[in-house]
Amino acid sequence: MSELFLPLAVGCAVALVSGLAVVLARRPVHSVVGLLVHSLAIASLFLLLAADLVAIGQVLIYSGAIVVLFLFVIALLPAGGAEGPIGSGRALSAVLAAGALLAALAAGLSASLPAATGRSVGGVEAIGRSLFGPLVVPFELTAPLLLVAIVGAVAIWRRQEQAP
Amino acid sequence: MLVLGTSAALLALGSGGVLLRRNPVAMLMSVELMLNAGNLLFVLAARVRGVVDGQAAALIVLVVAAAEAVVGLGLALALFRDRSRVDVDDPAEVRG
Amino acid sequence: MSGVLLWAWALTLPGLVLTGLGVGRRPGSASLAGPGVLLVVAVTWLLGSRTAAELRQVDWLPFLPDGAFHLRGDALAAVMLAVLGFVSLCVYVYSLAYMADEPPAGQRRFFMYLDFFVASMAILVLAGNLAVLLIGWAGVGLASFLLISFWLDRPGTLGAGLQALAANAVGDAALLVAIVLVPAGCGDLLTLQTPACLAVPGGARLTASLLLVAAAAKSAQGPLYFWLPSAMAGPTPISALIHAATMVAAGVYLLVRTNALLAAAPPVAVATAALGVATALGGGLASLQQANFKRGLAYSTVSQLGYMFAGVGFGAPFAAIFHLVTHASFKALLFLSAGVVIHARDGEEELAALGGLRRALPGAYAAFLVGSLALVGLPGLSGALSKDAILDAGEQANLLLAVCLFGGTFLTGLYIGRLFFGVFHGPRPDEQPIHHPSPLLLWPLVPLAVGAVVAGYLEWPAGLLSSALGETAGHAEPVRFASPFGFFAGLLGVFGFALSGWRGREQAAEPVRVGTDAGWVGAVARRGYGLADRLAAIHSGRLGRYALASVFGIAIILLIGLRA
């Protein structure tokens, strides 16, 4: 895995820095650009981890659909979705909470690091077998989830139209 | 190890973003960061353990993320509709 | 037959579909078959071979420690299903008349919600592990919300429904954490094969505490009582079925199912008993202060559920189930006869505007009297026998708490007497017209009244119920009534009941006010209100605060969970 170390490190760094940009950018448009870079970086990490199908899905769904959706919404927003000032108390509590979460994760995850098996897995067929085998219930549940999401989004919009 | 740390850091970063930002769209983007962190961990686990289930779960998470973005953005648009500035801290806005 | 019992939860689904499609001369008549067949199936099973059946669909939720789709039909489930079928059949028939003024679409919606509720409740009862139980648990919560808020155009119904949802969310969260904490193989927690489960990290105590919180939220115990009185904003048949007889008893059912865990954690058992006793007394006191007929009855339900919790906490789960069975019958009777009164007076629920209805509504009068006497425990009626069982258990387990419960029976007599004499005796406060109830409203009261009188004899003297339940509800000894404790409790209740009558109708309708000079009761109440205000301030509606609290909470859970 040593020859993969450098690309992985670069991908992780890009993902983290762009994630930081998403969180810290003042203007939502900049955040969206950050999100785009971030999702591409994550997709490259997926590729490096031998998850080709997930990487393709990530590019299609995230970079393609979700980021564009965010862009559309921001274009529709009045004043580009300007945001009120962020108080120092809020920033402090956010940093504290994030730090607490990170500490908890570090404490939990450092205890259990399994050694990597050399075998790499992947391939559309194997994923398909998994999706329609042990994971069939969650997989089927995504169908009603999407339906409900679509109906819900339309309903939210419609109600707003009736009562301006 | 490296990816594991990145995943944990991204999750913390995303949660910090949710808490920090007052703009619902920016909060949603932070949530997407957290979902990506989870996905990264799934794929990493699939690679390390040599089973493919993690990748399948990551695909399902992608779908969930799409649904979440649709509903969340719909809500954000509805909130933004009649005011130029939206603050999730306005208590009156979350009344049913 | 046992296979049919397992699938009993599906029995109301055809009715749901047919009602939704608009089949039947009256909206909702297609749904009637569901609870009827449910009752027949459960009773046939109980009278027949009583062989427990199981269904285990293994890799269903692979990410949970115990995620198999596991149904289990045993005696406890069958008894609960019989109660569910019996009460819901009466309520369905009653609703045909009670909801007849609604537009047909509204009636169809009402019956579909009811069908959904009965199906969810049956899943809850038939669940073989906590994961499946959670499906029913959340389903009945949802049905409760939908039915409380059924009349969305009336003020206050949505808020009442949301209160119920909020309290239920506390319970769901506690149950969810318990599910994740319980290690694999412990779905058998529900089947009382607990030795393996007691090796839970953090011990039995943590899991038992979580289950106690979940049960308290569902059954409106302790600080989580608040949603049940508000839930009375829903239609009265719903108050009878969901918020008196069945759903609110689900918490008791959960604790009875897992009573071996409770027995392994004595401090939690004592806490359960103390919570139950405190709620029994507090609910009784609160009922005395209500100006609204149905809210007075709702606090009575809170109080009686407290008796059941006390029974479980005393280590007598059978007594709790026994009281659950009798209570379902007489409390449903009380609510349905209250519904007759409310229906006859066009939805009037304020005690001050009701009175002297004895001559105008003799059927409701007789039914309410029978229900009241069963509730206060007139010796010989069902409530006396089951309450006696709980008090007997308490006498052996914790005398102090038992004496408090004993005093509570006096309160029971006082509050139900106040409602009874206030509504049916004395002069009529006004000359509003009274609609005479249709026979369809009165007939369902008959089987419930019979149940309220004779349900106690299922157990005493022959011990039929305890022998049927066997070991499924803990070690069930036939109720013997060794001590005269319960008998005197019944007399005390009747004395309170008579005292209310003697105080006369005028004072009876007057809520007992918590004034500045009401002594320690008022002081406690004011403290409580102050505390509630401060607690309410946490819920500022500011999303950021909520998110902050959840992130810290998740961090703490991770620290505990991942280190263990």
Model pLDDT for residues A3-52, shown as the tens digit of each residue: 778 888 898 999 999 999 888 888 888 889 999 999 999 999 988 888 88
Candidate ranges A91-95, C22-26, C117-121, C497-501; pick with highest mean pLDDT: C117-121
Mean pLDDT (whole number) for A137-161: 83
- State residue B93's pLDDT score: 46
Does C158 sit within 8 Å of B88, measured CB to CB?
Answer: no
Does B33 sit within 8 Å of A22, measured CB to CB?
Answer: yes
Q: Is residue B73 one of the residues assigned to a domain?
A: yes
Within 8 A by CB and 6+ apart from C468, the residues are C46, C50, C75, C79
Helix (H) or strand (E) holding C55, with range, is strand C53-57
Residue C516 scores a pLDDT above 50: no
By C-alpha distance, the chain C residue nearest A103 is C555
- The distance of Cα C529 from the centroid of its chain, to the nearest Å, equals 25
- State residue B96's pLDDT score: 40
CB–CB of C540/B90 below 8 Å?
no
- State residue C312's pLDDT score: 92
- State residue C502's pLDDT score: 76
- Chains with ≥3 Cβ pairs under 8 A against C? A, B
- Chains with ≥3 Cβ pairs under 8 A against B? A, C
Residues of chain C with a CB closer than 8 angstroms to some CB in chain A = 59-62, 544, 548, 551-552, 554-556, 558-559, 561-563
Mean pLDDT lowest among A80-84, C141-145, C546-550: A80-84
Looking at the DSSP bridge assignments, the partners of residue C273 are none
User: Helix or strand or coil: residue C432?
Assistant: coil
- Chains with ≥3 Cβ pairs under 8 A against A? B, C
Tell me the nearest-neighbour CA distance from A6 into chain C, angstroms.
30
Residue C330 CB coordination number (10 Å): 28
Q: Would the ipTM clear 0.85, i.e. be above it?
A: no
**Residue B48's domain spans which residues?**
2-86
Residues of B with Cβ-Cβ distance to C547 under 8 angstroms: 18-19
CATH code of the domain in which B37 resides: 1.10.287.3510
Residues of A with Cβ-Cβ distance to C553 under 8 angstroms: none
Q: Is A17 on the interface with B (CB under 8 A)?
A: no
Partner-chain residue, chosen from C162, C540, C548, that has the shortest CB–CB distance to B19: C548
Q: What is the DSSP string of C484-511?
A: SHHHHHHHHHHHHHHHHHHHHHHHHHS-
- State residue C518's pLDDT score: 46
Whether this prediction's pTM lies above 0.80 is answered by: no
Q: Is residue B69 one of the residues assigned to a domain?
A: yes
Pairwise CA distance, residues C294 & A17, whole Å: 60
Residue C498 identity: A
- State residue C276's pLDDT score: 92
Residue C23 identity: V
By C-alpha distance, the chain C residue nearest B57 is C63
Q: What is the DSSP string of A128-139?
A: HHHHHTTTHHHH
Question: Using 50, 70 and 90 to split pLDDT, how confident is the model at A111?
Answer: low
Model confidence over C407-423: pLDDT tens digits?
A: 888 889 888 988 888 88
Partner-chain residue, chosen from C62, C548, C555, that has the shortest CB–CB distance to A104: C555
Mean pLDDT lowest among C178-187, C249-258, C408-417, C501-510: C501-510
Question: Using 50, 70 and 90 to split pLDDT, how confident is the model at C458?
Answer: confident
Pairwise CA distance, residues C543 & C554, whole Å: 16
Residue C563 scores a pLDDT above 50: yes
- State residue C90's pLDDT score: 93
Q: What is the DSSP string of B7-55?
A: HHHHHHHHHHHHHH--SHHHHHHHHHHHHHHHHHHHHHHHHHHT-SHHH
- State residue C528's pLDDT score: 66
Any idea what the Cα angle at residue C501 is, between residues C496 and C506, rounded to 5°? 125
> Which has more confidence, C200 or B8?
B8
Contact pairs from chain A to chain C, CB under 8 Å: 39
For the record, the structure tokens of C3 come out as: 């296979």
Tell me the nearest-neighbour CA distance from B95 into chain C, angstroms.
8
Mean pLDDT (whole number) for B46-68: 86
Q: Is residue B25 one of the residues assigned to a domain?
A: yes
Length of chain B: 96
Helices and strands in chain C, H and E counts? 24, 2
Mean pLDDT lowest among C20-29, C273-282, C343-352, C534-543: C534-543
Residue C388 scores a pLDDT above 90: no
Partner-chain residue, chosen from A93, A101, A109, that has the shortest CB–CB distance to C555: A101
CA-wise closest residue to A83 among C471, B21, C550: B21
Question: Using 50, 70 and 90 to split pLDDT, how confident is the model at C492?
Answer: confident
Question: Using 50, 70 and 90 to split pLDDT, how confident is the model at C88?
Answer: very high
DSSP 8-class letter at A85:
P
Residue C187 scores a pLDDT above 60: no
| Interface probe with A: pick from B6, B61, B64, most Cβ of A within 10 Å | B6
Residue C514 scores a pLDDT above 60: no
Question: Using 50, 70 and 90 to split pLDDT, how confident is the model at C60?
Answer: low
What are the residue boundaries of the structural domains of chain C, listed by start? Answer: 1-187, 265-511, 513-564
CB–CB of C230/C299 below 8 Å?
no
| Interface probe with A: pick from B7, B11, B13, most Cβ of A within 10 Å | B13
| Interface probe with C: pick from A101, A136, A139, most Cβ of C within 10 Å | A101
Does C559 sit within 8 Å of A108, measured CB to CB?
Answer: yes
| Peptide linkage before C461 cis (omega within 30 of 0) | yes
Partner-chain residue, chosen from C61, C552, C562, that has the shortest CB–CB distance to A108: C562
Beta strand pairing call for C53-57 and C69-73: antiparallel
Q: How many domains does chain B have?
A: 1
Q: Is residue B92 one of the residues assigned to a domain?
A: no
Length of chain A: 164
pLDDT above 90 covers a percentage of chain C that reads 26
Residues of B with Cβ-Cβ distance to C158 under 8 angstroms: 96
CB–CB of C488/C481 below 8 Å?
no
Does C60 sit within 8 Å of A137, measured CB to CB?
Answer: yes
Question: Using 50, 70 and 90 to split pLDDT, how confident is the model at A164?
Answer: very low
Pairwise CA distance, residues A86 & B22, whole Å: 8
CB–CB of C341/C361 below 8 Å?
yes
For the record, the structure tokens of C175 come out as: 């149950």
Q: What is the DSSP string of C343-378?
A: HHTTT--BGGG----TTT-HHHHHHHHHHHHHHHT-
Mean pLDDT lowest among B76-80, C212-216, C317-321: B76-80
- State residue A159's pLDDT score: 66
Q: What is the DSSP string of C232-260?
A: GGS-HHHHHIIIIISGGGHHHHHHHHTHH
Residue C389 CB coordination number (10 Å): 29
- State residue B2's pLDDT score: 78
pLDDT above 70 covers a percentage of chain A that reads 82
Residue C70 scores a pLDDT above 90: no
Residues of C with Cβ-Cβ distance to B26 under 8 angstroms: none
Phi, psi of A38 (to 5 degrees): -60, -45
Tell me the nearest-neighbour CA distance from B67 into chain A, angstroms.
6
> Which has more confidence, C527 or C364?
C364
Pairwise CA distance, residues A149 & C282, whole Å: 44
For the record, the structure tokens of C166 come out as: 């909020």
Q: Is residue B91 one of the residues assigned to a domain?
A: no
Q: Is B63 on the interface with C (CB under 8 A)?
A: no
Tell me the nearest-neighbour CA distance from C558 into chain A, angstroms.
6
Q: Is residue B94 one of the residues assigned to a domain?
A: no
Within 8 A by CB and 6+ apart from C444, the residues are C90, C91, C93, C94, C336
Residue C36 identity: G
By C-alpha distance, the chain C residue nearest B95 is C541
